[in-house]
Structure 1
Amino acid sequence: MHDTIHTRQACILQSLCTYLNEDCKKLIKEYLNTDSEANSCMEQTVMVVYVIRKEGAEPEDDPEDIDVLIKGAEAPSGLGNIAQARALVFGLTHCLNLSYPPELKFTFEAFQKILGNLDGQRLSSKAQFLKNKLMGTADGIFMFLLS
């Protein structure tokens, strides 16, 4: 198994979705390079990180392509890993003042307001609970980000 910082970041972000009881698969869609329906599925998605894998590739193998789609348009990115793609989605959401996807609103809120420290005074109760837990230890947030 590859143990890189990118793998750890991707796992942390997926854990954040899971902790907040949201489906990470709503943010990241994986397709095989032989999937003929992938393009039509991607065009119907409002906001997604898509990963194209070669048929027969192992989970630890590098994907063929990773990109971001917002409202059916591909964001020019040249991304090398899933963690960077997720960060781009969160950043674009903030910069373009886009609404959070309803099915991932707590994940987006936590990333933007707690980890990004943007408008962190107004939090939902779920995000406030997470923030309190992270701040409960001296290195809580660093352990969360780097573990």
Structure 2
Amino acid sequence: MAALNKYSNCLIKMYRAKSKDLGDEMKMILDHFDEQTTDIVSHRYSTALRGLPLYLRERDAISKTCVDTDLEETYTRGVKLGILKVMEDNLSQATKRCQNLAIILEETVVVEDLPDFPTAFMVLFGLLYALNIEYPKGLKYTFEAVQNIFVGLGEKCTNRVQSLKNKLFTL
């Protein structure tokens, strides 16, 4: 989290600079961040992590959202790995609250009740690393960036991640 704290502002600046090239999804992530008025640090970390796959030109989703009245199997079926965000199903509220954040590995919820997205992301990374699970093809660069830049494990990295690393170290 210390490295995420160190680089999150720089990442968000880089996302803003390229937001037109990165599409509507990045615009939504940045707009959501701009609307936040509480727990800014957690939202900054979330924005940095959610934008990373888009910035690295990976289009696989790392997270899914469902409501608490849905069957868990509906959202875990076919999911090799990811973060499941369970929202309350209360139509009377304008904004829905997050009930649960969970980690899915091989269609199974393996960790639940995580406090926020950055923690869930780092727990997912830790599980992949500790269990020696190969990074999924569609998020390979994202997890490689976390491993090499945020966690500092490994010296060699692909050109795409090395380019990101160079940009972060010069900002």
Global fold match (TM > 0.5): yes
Q: Which residue of 2 aligns with 1:51?
A: 85
- Structure 1 unaligned regions, length at least 5: 138-147
SS in 1 for 2:46: helix
The structure whose RCO (Cα within 8 Å, separation 6+) is larger is 1
Which portions of structure 1, spanning 4 or more consecutive aligned residues, are displaced by more than 3 angstroms? 56-59
Counterpart CA distance in 2 for 1:40 and 1:54 is 16
Q: Which one of the candidate residues 97, 105, 122 is aligned to 1:87?
A: 122
Q: 1:58 to 1:132 in 2, by over 3 A?
A: farther
Structure in which a larger fraction of residues adopt helix: 2
Q: 2:162 aligns with which of 118, 121, 128?
A: 128
Q: Which residue of 2 aligns with 1:140?
A: none
Post-superposition Cα deviations, 1:65-87, rounded to whole Å, max 9, x if no partner, equal 11001112222343111111111
Q: Supply the distance in 1 between the matched residues of 2:127 and 2:80 (Cα, whole angstroms).
A: 13
Residue identity opposite 1:18 in structure 2: L
Is residue 13 from structure 1 mapped to residue 81 from structure 2 by the alignment?
no
Task: Pick closer, same or farther for the CA change 1:124–1:132 going to 2, 3 Å.
Answer: same
CA distance in 2, matches of 1:78, 1:103: 26
Q: Which runs of 5+ in 2 are unaligned?
A: 1-35
Q: Distance in 2 between matches of 1:30 and 1:77?
A: 14
* C-alpha deviation, 1:3, in angstroms: 3.1
1:35 counterpart residue number: 70
Supply the distance in 2 between the matched residues of 1:108 and 1:127 (Cα, whole angstroms): 10
Residue in 1 aligned with 2:29? none
Contact 2:88–2:97 (Cα < 8 Å) also in 1: no
Give the distance between the partners of 1:23 and 1:58, measured in 2 at CA. Answer: 29
Contact 2:104 2:111 in 1 (8 A): no
- 2:142 corresponds in structure 1 to 107
Identity of aligned residues (%): 25
Name the CA shift for 1:34/1:2 in 2 (closer, same or farther; >3 Å). Answer: farther
Give the TM-score taking structure 1 as reference length: 0.81
TM-score by length of 2: 0.71
Return closer, same or farther for 1:87/1:126 CA change in 2, 3 Å cut-off: same
Q: Secondary structure at the match of 1:15?
A: helix
Aligned residues: 133
Question: Which deviates more from structure 2 when the two are superposed, residues 92-101 or residues 73-82?
Answer: 73-82
- Summarize deviations over 1:30-88 as a string: whole Å, max 9, x none: 0122334x5233132110100011123555x5301110011122223431111111111
